[in-house]
Amino acid sequence: MKLSDLADALNCELRGHGDLEISGVAGMDQASASELTFLANPKYAHKVKNTRAGAILVSQPLPKDSTTACLLSVNPYLDFARALALFYQPPAPQPGIHPLAFVDESAAVGANPSIGPFAVVGPRVRIGRNAVLHPHAVIYEGAEIGDYFLAHSHATVREYCRIGHRVILQNSVVVGGDGYGFAKRADGSHQKIPQSGVTVIEDDVEIQALTSIDRATIGETRVKRGAKIDSLVQVGHASVVGEDNIICAQAGLAGSSVLERNVLLAGQAGVSGHLTIHENSVVYAQSGIGGDVAAGSIVSGSPAFDSREWLRAITAFPRLPELLRTMRQLQKRVSELEAGRPSKPEPSTVRDE
């Protein structure tokens, strides 16, 4: 694709030779003379002078002495993603229903499906048009799914769950597995609590590999529009994941957690359940949330608190043993002075000011 055509497709302003042929997209360090790269973070600006890329997506014009063509973009990272979509074409699934797939006679599948071998569509399932089920995807009885659904191999949608339009389930996702509920008997053994609720996934949600969204004991677990959930995430029963949430790998939500819109949970964050993380909050990696988080907060640590205070706290933490020794020595000196017995400081650990 000519650079001028690419600029038109991305609605970017071209600076440089529009006849340059662009064959693909790559990172700044790996890009060749026929590839497009991008600069989204100013701290990497020093790499521009050394890149071999034929063109670069930037938010500001390059220095006058630069010979690299550029596309001026309001959001270089977003336009880089759009450019990548123009060049990368994933394998197209085979249309139709494979002879080795099983689709129950009571199920309704919309127009233009692609259902691979050993995929299973159970009784009374409803699936919209343009659905793609890769081999070994399984849709349990009574599930309702919208248009443009994509389920990769071994993804599972359990009974009676509801899924909106343009939802993507990566490999081995489980939507609507049983919530973790047991009642203890008098003898200490455990009685399983029936998980009679459902899981609801709204439009434009993507869930990455090996993630589990549990069904509710009663009522529903809900993942709202536009949420993106990474691999190895656990969403407990009756939880709510808000609009446009980002939940990173290995995060866990205990039952009845509520995340409002635009919440970001970084990797391995843990939410103890029966609480609300209000909108526009950020939870740093490995944080433990034990109570409600106010709107717009940025929290860290376990238990989590304001990230600025947390940064000061972790800076002091390695010095705590030294500070504790000094405090004990000072307490000892004060006690001896009050008793009228002056003492000598230990020169190795105490300094006179």
CATH code (residue 154): 2.160.10.10
H-helix or E-strand spanning residue 34: none
Does residue 186 form part of some domain? yes
Residue 29 structure tokens = 């360090």
**Residue finishing a domain among 87, 106, 138:** 87
pLDDT tens per residue, range 150-191: 999 999 999 999 999 999 999 999 999 999 999 999 999 999
Full residue range of the structural domain in which residue 286 is found: 96-309
List pLDDT tens digits, range 100-139.
999 999 999 999 999 999 999 999 999 999 999 999 999 9
The answer to whether residues 122 and 204 belong to one domain is yes
Nearest to 259 by CA among 216, 305, 222, 210: 222
From 87, 110, 135, give the residue that closes a domain.
Answer: 87
Cα atoms in the 13 Å half-sphere on the side-chain side of 121: 30
pLDDT tens, position by position, 302-337: 999 999 999 998 888 898 899 899 999 999 999 988
pLDDT confidence tier of residue 352, bands split at 50, 70 and 90: very low
Is the same domain home to 192 and 69? no
Average pLDDT rounded to a whole number, residues 71-99: 93
Say if residue 279's pLDDT is above 90: yes
In this model, does residue 43 exceed pLDDT 90? no
Structure confidence at residue 353 (pLDDT): 41
**Tens-digit pLDDT profile for residues 236-246:** 999 999 999 99
What phi and psi values does residue 3 have, to the nearest 5 degrees?
-60, -35
The larger pLDDT score, comparing residue 345 to residue 118, is at 118
Two tokens, residue 155 = 């993804």
Instruction: Please state the rounded mean pLDDT for residues 297-304.
Output: 96
Residue 342 has pLDDT above 80, yes or no: no
Residues 44, 101, single domain; the answer is no
In terms of domains, do 73 and 149 share one?
no
Chain center to CA of 298: 17
User: Which pLDDT value is given to residue 347?
Assistant: 58
Any domain includes 329: no
Claim to verify: residue 112 and residue 62 sit in the same structural domain: no
Same domain, 72 and 113: no
Could you tell me if 60 and 169 lie in one domain?
Answer: no
Does residue 353 lie in a domain region? no
Closest by Cα among 71, 59, 74 to 13: 71
The verdict on 102 and 52 lying in the same domain is: no
Of 87, 106, 124, the position where a domain reaches its end is 87
Q: In the prediction, which pLDDT does 219 show?
A: 96
Assigned domain for 335 exists: no
Co-location of 238 and 270 in the same domain: yes
Give mean pLDDT, residues 205-218.
Answer: 98
- What is the share, in percent, of the chain residues with pLDDT greater than 90? 84
**How far is residue 346's CA from residue 115's CA, in Å, rounded to a whole number?**
78
User: Tell me, what's the pLDDT at 110?
Assistant: 98
Dihedrals phi, psi of 58, to nearest 5 degrees: -140, 160
Exposed / middle / buried, residue 125 (Cβ in 10 Å: 0-12, 13-18, 19+): buried
Pair (209, 302) in one structural domain: yes
315 domain residue, yes or no? no
Q: What is the pTM of this model?
A: 0.88
Write the CB contacts of 19 (distance below 8 Å, at least 6 apart in sequence): 2, 3, 4
* Residue 190, H or E segment: strand 190-192
**Band (63; pLDDT cuts 50, 70, 90):** confident
Q: Which of 268-272, 287-291, 346-350 has the lowest mean pLDDT?
A: 346-350
- CATH number of the domain within which 64 lies: 3.40.1390.10
Is 339 domain-assigned? no
User: Do 164 and 130 belong to one domain?
Assistant: yes
Catalytic residues, by residue number, are 237
Q: Is 161 a member of any domain?
A: yes
The overall average pLDDT reported for the chain is 94
Q: How far apart are CA 264 and CA 249, in angstroms?
A: 12
- Judge whether 22 lies within some domain: yes
